[in-house]
Amino acid sequence: MYGHVAEHVGEDGRSEPAGMALWFLNFSTWTGRHGVYLEDLYVRPHLRGHGYGLALLRTLARICVERGYTRLEWSVLDWNTPAIDFYAALGSTSMDGWTVRRLDGDALRALGSR
């Protein structure tokens, strides 16, 4: 797991964390190359709209380009229209036709103990 923190410096010269991106490497059998999966992107509400989310995504995109990774992927809740619009404006596309599946809790323990 890797992370980046965006820092906001106020008019008084004090700095505070503005946001963060947590990510890890994944691997695509389709391309035979690594990619980056963005697990969490968060910008503090009072600092949204100042470019911190964009800066964090640019950093991850730059890592992908420099290292020859083929994709930067993440999930977004289908009701989060502001985030979806922001991501679409960057040129990202929705992976229609794919459904996220999850095993957790009792179902995970049951399968893992068989």
In this prediction, residue 106 carries a pLDDT of: 96
Question: Active-site residue 87, yes or no?
Answer: yes
How many domains, in total, are found in the chain?
A: 1
For residue range 35-75, what is the model confidence (pLDDT) as tens digits? Answer: 999 999 999 999 999 999 999 999 999 999 999 999 999 99
Render pLDDT for 88-103 as a digit per residue (tens, 0 to 9): 999 999 999 998 899 9
Residue 87's domain comprises: 2-112
Residue tagged active-site, from 2, 42, 52, 87? 87
Exposure pattern of 25-47 as b/e (b: 16+ CB <10 Å)? eeeeeeeeeebbbbeebbbeeeb
Question: Domain of 41: which CATH number?
Answer: 3.40.630.30
Side by side, the strands of the sheet bearing 2-9 are 2-9, 15-28, 33-43, 72-74
Q: What percent of the chain has pLDDT over 70?
A: 100
β-strands 72-74, 33-43 pairing: parallel
Dump strand ranges (E) for 1-114.
2-9, 15-28, 33-43, 72-74
pLDDT for res 16: 96
pLDDT band at 114 (very low <50, low <70, confident <90, very high): confident
Please provide the distance, in angstroms rounded to a whole number, between the alpha carbons at the two ends of the chain: 29
pLDDT given for residue 93 in this prediction: 95
